[in-house]
Structure 1
Amino acid sequence: MDISTGHIVLSYMEDHLNNQDRLDQEWEALSQYEAEPSSTKIATDASNMRKNRYGDVLPYDHSRVVLNSAANVSSSDYINANFITDHDPRNPAFIVGQAPLPHTVADFWQMVWEQGSVVIVMLTKLTENGTAMCHRYWPEEGSDLYHIYEVHLVSEHIWCDDYLVRSFYLKNLQTNETRTVTQFHFLTWPNLGVPGSIKALLDFRRKVNKSYRGRSCPIAVHCSDGCDRSGTYILIDMVLNRMAKGAKEIDMAATLEHIRDQRMAMVKSKEQFQFALACVAEEVHAILKALPQ
């Protein structure tokens, strides 16, 4: 990123962060935004309803992840997840979905396998304030079998209070192929809220991207509903990736609309949108500081 672009981006972010009226107006406009097309016919089919964690968070038909029904434990092609693309519709940057339920864990691993994902970003605890947010979809030790997918926990590494990293061997028992999948688990982001530390989330993102570098498969992202925390993370990541590729203009609201065209309700509160702005500003600030002046 060149210095002049950095300063333009930084002044855009800081103007939004310091000008509450402007932020309020932008969020108001975003709240009115309606995606088109927005059909969720397949998600509301009677046979699929029990696979949705929340009745009001459903994948759009046009961007949903379609499983191979022939390989599926219940001969279904449905999972509550969507593809999120940036520039290239043939190569989605992310698959984003709800946290697995006890009866959708095999579907989740099937999706990870079929989409070739080698990185999972998990942004929720298993339970929060006594409420189940996500079913544990990996073994506590050793290996577990989920339909035809054997998942072996290789290592669990606690980086800091905010996140840990797990490494899995994933084996398809039909083909005997194996792959390594790395799960980055952020622990201190409350449901419908924001993390307490911008720095911790930016460090976490850097670790994720370092592990992912050079791959062309989508990163699998989930929180509990696959919208609020996942949407915020994807918004931050997409904007920073565009900047790293030399984008001269950054429009956070337009980028969020682009993401919302692909999955409903992404980024659920003004506080989360403001947090995304602050993260981008912080990262740009750090990049500018590191450039020779």
Structure 2
Amino acid sequence: MEDHLQKKDRLDKEWEALCSYQAEPAACAVGQEEQNVQRNRPHGILVYDHSRVILKPENNQSRSDYINASPIMDHDPRNPAYISSQGPLPSTVADFWQMVWESGCVVIVMLTPLAENGIKQCHQYWPDEGSDLYHIYEVNLVSEHIWCDDFLVRSFYLKNVQTNETRTVTQFHFLSWMDQNVPESARTLLDFRRKVNKCYRGRSCPIIVHCSDGGGRSGTYILIDMVLNKMAKGAKEIDIAATLEHLRDQRSGMVQTKVSSPLKEPHKSAR
């Protein structure tokens, strides 16, 4: 960090190198198959063939194993710490809840408003009240708590109607992070992250993180969380560029914008 502050052009040079970085392997053939194209957001991110969430086709209403979501590993290559997903489309809501169920997820981090400047960013995949059935997954809205102007927390009671098993899932919804931009307040985003991690503490399942395409905002949040977790564990050196390359090896488009203007906090910078 001291080196970044002393060498003002270092961030620009690192970003230029990251923009030209190519993951290997980077094949995306499955997401481009005819039956899967409609399950992707138009002009959105495609999942790598080697790094994608695979659904159980026998539990899927279309008998498909495809969803536009990527497991993201941190230090344990066997267990993903996160799943970075595109926001559900009207046709993929049941697939999304299947992924929530099969991954054992209990925490969802949503980083986009449902619509932005009249453009749909994500389909509402939960009921306004009561419960809705998405294929074999019944979702009941238990509570909705507004923490501040920037984010709220919803609690869902999720039931697999085939097995009658149930689970509580908590969704943390950050409202004020616009596409291709940064949150207005760094402190608010860090408060949001602390609440997410307090709810998640002690769990071994992945956190599902999504924005609209599962790239820019999702990648930024995961990068921040990953780096701060390493710092909290006493890591002596943190290489943010290398960590981002590690993320981009698992999903393309992770962190899409470099912003060097200060956030609306005293003595803070969006670096």
Look up the SS of the partner of 1:26 in the other structure.
helix
Residue of structure 2 equivalent to 1:3: none
Residue of structure 2 equivalent to 1:46: 34
Choose the corresponding residue for 2:117, options 110, 129, 142: 129
Is the aligned partner of 1:221 residue 2:209? Answer: yes
1: CA distance, partners of 2:168 / 2:6: 44
TM-score normalised over the length of structure 1: 0.88
2: CA distance, partners of 1:113 / 1:56: 24
Tell me how far 1:41 sits from its aligned partner.
0.6
2: CA distance, partners of 1:265 / 1:17: 26
Choose the corresponding residue for 1:143, options 131, 136, 143: 131
Tell me how far 1:56 sits from its aligned partner.
4.2
Q: Contact 1:17 / 1:23 at 8 angstroms: preserved in 2? A: no
Percent pairwise identity: 70
Amino acid at match of 1:57: I
Look up the SS of the partner of 2:259 in the other structure.
helix
Deviation digits for residues 195-223 of structure 1 (CA, Å, limit 9, x no counterpart): 00000000000000000001000000000
Choose the corresponding residue for 1:180, options 153, 162, 168: 168
Q: Contact 1:194 / 1:275 at 8 angstroms: preserved in 2? A: no
Q: Contact 1:153 / 1:166 at 8 angstroms: preserved in 2? A: yes
2: CA distance, partners of 1:111 / 1:275: 37
Look up the SS of the partner of 1:234 in the other structure.
helix
Residue of structure 1 equivalent to 2:70: 82
Which ranges of 4 or more aligned residues in structure 1 deviate by more than 2 Å?
14-20
* Higher mean displacement: 52-61 or 100-109: 52-61
Tell me how far 1:16 sits from its aligned partner.
2.2
Residue of structure 2 equivalent to 1:96: 84
RMSD: 1.7
Deviation digits for residues 122-173 of structure 1 (CA, Å, limit 9, x no counterpart): 0000000000000000000000000000000000000000100000000000
Is the aligned partner of 1:260 residue 2:226? Answer: no
Look up the SS of the partner of 1:61 in the other structure.
coil
Residues 124 and 17 (structure 1 numbering): CA distance in 2 closer, same or farther, change over 3 Å? farther
TM-score normalised over the length of structure 2: 0.95
2: CA distance, partners of 1:239 / 1:24: 20
Amino acid at match of 2:124: R
Mapping 1:8-87, distance limit 5 Å: 12=1, 14-17=2-5, 19-87=7-75
Tell me the matched-pair count. 266
Residue of structure 2 equivalent to 1:7: none
Amino acid at match of 2:89: L
2: CA distance, partners of 1:213 / 1:150: 26
Look up the SS of the partner of 1:269 in the other structure.
coil
Is the aligned partner of 1:108 residue 2:96? Answer: yes
Residue of structure 2 equivalent to 1:247: 235
Higher relative contact order at CA 8 Å, sep ≥6: structure 1 or structure 2?
1
Gaps in structure 1 of 5+ consecutive residues: 1-11, 283-293
Q: Contact 2:44 / 2:213 at 8 angstroms: preserved in 1? A: no
Amino acid at match of 2:236: K
Deviation digits for residues 167-190 of structure 1 (CA, Å, limit 9, x no counterpart): 000000010000000000000000
